[in-house]
């Protein structure tokens, strides 16, 4: 027993995991207080347990998901269609299709050719490569509305780029490039109205409940200077600090002349991906989910007559544990909603946060803090659904305009403390083979700097725009 306790003191991750597990067990054992939905405490306990294990990575992520699924069913927390909702989520099947397409990109050598083209322009140094990848990530947000689609498209290319540059699995450079792409294409992209799901949820709630609408240009002006450009600069800076290059000599970029001509399968894949990209970028016209477009691409790649990959390729290269992990993350959010635990957390936070008409800056900070805290208890797409309906009450208490209160949520759900809060980030890390602890290092640091620096700058920018009165 003593040796176990000593081991906990030497390992903060194990200590945190033990504390969250003990708290979760205590919540499960507690009688449900009057006025609380029957399964709210159990749902909160299971989510706390999963978050603690995910954040500390003391056991493999897929095993945490299996623990979550098993306990949720044994304890009768919710129906099976809720507990396992992650498996029939569109995001899950987007990951599934993306993994298959990634295998094909790797096998055909297309990823290497694209990476080679990129390295000839970006790979003069590790710093330059990080900057280039981050810029590509946010640039795609203007032409490709789906974050998941952008992630699935870019991960195989970035992995091929890492291979071309000699950045092996487990190196800080490899983690840095994957996270530069993932963070660059999600957090700053919240500044582009149609680029992320939470944006659309927020706009929909604002219009349905309050009749408040936002046009593309207005939204871009409010968010892009600080939450877009400056946040992207912070991401790049933190990547270069946290995932500092080891100093190893970067492999000389392979020239395009040294790469074998694209095979027939590679040319077929170019056509398939071209059609896929066209459908992804025009989803505002046809309204087909990016998930089903990705699945269609995967199906074509697997079709016997086309022969891009076969069952042996899937067995050898398909990362099935990642799909279980993603399903667990998605189901976690659904369980919070179903049991009412997320609503209770939001109401509790609102009851304990003070707004004042005399101190607009502190009220603004409180609004962002409320959304950021809610983001921990749910996932980013759920934040506007939980907080936005409270906007009228917050506006009345703080004296700030309703539109300002609503838009403060963009800053909140852009401030990600742990990776599990953002499914596209989790997907990128799983597809790229990035340990959860590496992602957590980045998100915690970025959240801290964002709250200390970007929130005050946002207040100043919005004050200059006349949005604080």
Q: Read off the pLDDT of each residue in 378-389 and give the average, rounded to a whole number.
A: 70
Provide the phi-psi class of 170: left if phi over 0, else alpha when psi is between -120 and 50, else beta: left
Closest CA to 137 of 166, 158, 159: 158
What confidence tens digit (pLDDT) does each residue in 322-372 have? Answer: 778 778 877 877 787 788 776 676 667 667 777 778 888 988 888 888 888
Residue 145 has a pLDDT of 61
Average of per-residue pLDDT values in the chain: 80
- Hey, how many other C-beta atoms are within 10 angstroms of the C-beta on 319? 15
Residues 6+ apart with CB under 8 A from 60: 321
The span from the CA of 379 to the CA of 243, in Å, is 26
Q: Which of 45-54, 96-105, 157-166, 450-459 ranks highest by mean pLDDT?
A: 450-459
- Phi, psi at residue 31, to the nearest 5°? -70, 145
The tally of CA atoms less than 13 A away on the side-chain side of residue 268 is 18
Q: Would you say residue 7 has pLDDT above 90?
A: no
Residue 6 or 54, more confident: 54
Closest CA to 137 of 98, 99, 100, 188: 188
Q: Would you say residue 258 has pLDDT above 60?
A: no
Residue 92 — very low, low, confident or very high, per pLDDT cuts 50/70/90?
Answer: confident
Q: Would you say residue 147 has pLDDT above 80?
A: no
Residue pair 132/122 in contact (Cβ under 8 Å)? The answer is yes
- Phi, psi at residue 99, to the nearest 5°? -65, -40
At 405 the three-state DSSP class reads helix
Residue 304 — very low, low, confident or very high, per pLDDT cuts 50/70/90?
Answer: confident
The span from the CA of 376 to the CA of 415, in Å, is 10
Residue 254 has a pLDDT of 52
Residue 176 has a pLDDT of 93
Strands of 125-178 (E only): list them.
none
Residues 6+ apart with CB under 8 A from 86: 92, 326, 327, 328, 329, 330, 331, 332, 334
Residue 101 — very low, low, confident or very high, per pLDDT cuts 50/70/90?
Answer: confident
Q: Would you say residue 48 has pLDDT above 70?
A: yes
Q: Would you say residue 249 has pLDDT above 60?
A: no
**Is 208 buried (19+), middle (13-18) or exposed (0-12) by CB count in 10 A?**
exposed
State the pTM of this model: 0.70
Residue 144 has a pLDDT of 65
Q: Would you say residue 4 has pLDDT above 60?
A: no
At 123 the three-state DSSP class reads coil
Residue 178 has a pLDDT of 93
Residue pair 93/291 in contact (Cβ under 8 Å)? The answer is yes
Output the 3-class SS for 334-362. Answer: HHHHHHCHHHHHHHHHHHCCCCCCCCHHH
What confidence tens digit (pLDDT) does each residue in 169-189 have? Answer: 888 999 999 999 999 888 888
Go through the chain and tell me how many residues it has. 469
Q: Read off the pLDDT of each residue in 99-128 and give the average, rounded to a whole number.
A: 71
Lowest-confidence segment of 43-47, 269-273, 283-287, 375-379 by average pLDDT: 375-379
Strands of 168-223 (E only): list them.
none
Q: Read off the pLDDT of each residue in 6-19 and give the average, rounded to a whole number.
A: 67
Closest CA to 158 of 188, 133, 184, 122: 133
Residue pair 388/199 in contact (Cβ under 8 Å)? The answer is no
Lowest-confidence segment of 76-80, 311-315, 450-454 by average pLDDT: 311-315
Closest CA to 54 of 37, 70, 67, 43: 67
Q: Would you say residue 267 has pLDDT above 50?
A: yes
């Amino acid at each position: 027993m003593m040796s176990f306790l000593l081991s906990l003191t030497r390992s903060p991750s194990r200590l945190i995991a033990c504390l969250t597990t003990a708290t979760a067990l205590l919540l499960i054992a507690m009688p449900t207080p009057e006025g609380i939905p029957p399964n709210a405490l159990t749902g909160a306990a299971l989510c706390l347990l999963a978050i603690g294990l995910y954040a500390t990575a003391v056991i493999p992520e897929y095993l945490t998901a299996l623990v979550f699924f098993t306990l949720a069913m044994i304890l009768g927390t919710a129906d099976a269609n809720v507990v396992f909702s992650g498996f029939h989520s569109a995001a899950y099947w987007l990951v599934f299709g993306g993994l298959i397409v990634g295998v094909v990109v790797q096998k055909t050598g297309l990823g290497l050719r694209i990476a080679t083209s990129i390295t000839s322009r970006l790979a003069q140094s590790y710093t330059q490569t990080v900057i280039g990848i981050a810029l590509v990530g946010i640039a795609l947000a203007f032409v490709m509305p789906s974050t998941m689609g952008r992630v699935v498209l870019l991960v195989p290319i970035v992995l091929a780029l890492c291979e071309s540059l000699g950045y092996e699995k487990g190196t800080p450079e490899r983690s840095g490039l994957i996270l530069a792409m993932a963070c660059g294409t999600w957090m700053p992209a919240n500044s582009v109205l149609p680029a992320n799901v939470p944006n659309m949820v927020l706009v929909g709630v604002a219009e349905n409940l309050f009749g408040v609408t936002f046009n593309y240009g207005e939204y871009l002006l409010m968010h892009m200077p600080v939450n877009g450009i400056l946040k992207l600069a912070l991401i790049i800076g933190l990547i270069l600090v946290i995932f500092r290059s080891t100093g190893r000599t970067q492999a000389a970029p392979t020239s395009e002349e040294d790469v074998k001509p694209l095979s027939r399968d590679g040319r077929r894949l170019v056509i398939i991906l071209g059609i896929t990209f066209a459908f992804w970028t025009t989803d505002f016209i046809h309204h087909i989910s990016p998930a089903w477009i990705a699945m269609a691409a995967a199906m074509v790649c697997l079709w016997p007559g086309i022969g891009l990959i076969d069952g042996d390729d899937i067995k050898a290269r398909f990362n099935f544990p990642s799909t279980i992990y993603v399903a667990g993350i998605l189901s976690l959010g659904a369980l919070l909603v179903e049991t009412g635990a997320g609503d209770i957390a939001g109401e509790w936070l609102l009851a304990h946060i003070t707004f004042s008409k005399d101190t607009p800056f502190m009220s603004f900070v409180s609004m962002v803090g409320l959304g950021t805290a809610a983001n921990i208890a749910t996932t980013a797409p759920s934040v506007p659904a939980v907080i936005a309906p409270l906007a009228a009450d917050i506006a009345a208490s703080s004296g700030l305009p309703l539109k300002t209160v609503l838009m403060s949520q963009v800053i909140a759900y852009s401030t990600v403390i742990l990776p599990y809060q953002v499914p596209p980030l989790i997907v990128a890390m799983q597809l790229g083979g990035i340990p959860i602890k590496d992602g957590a290092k980045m998100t915690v640091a970025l959240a801290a700097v964002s709250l200390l620096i970007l929130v005050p700058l946002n207040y100043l920018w919005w004050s200059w725009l006349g949005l604080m009165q």
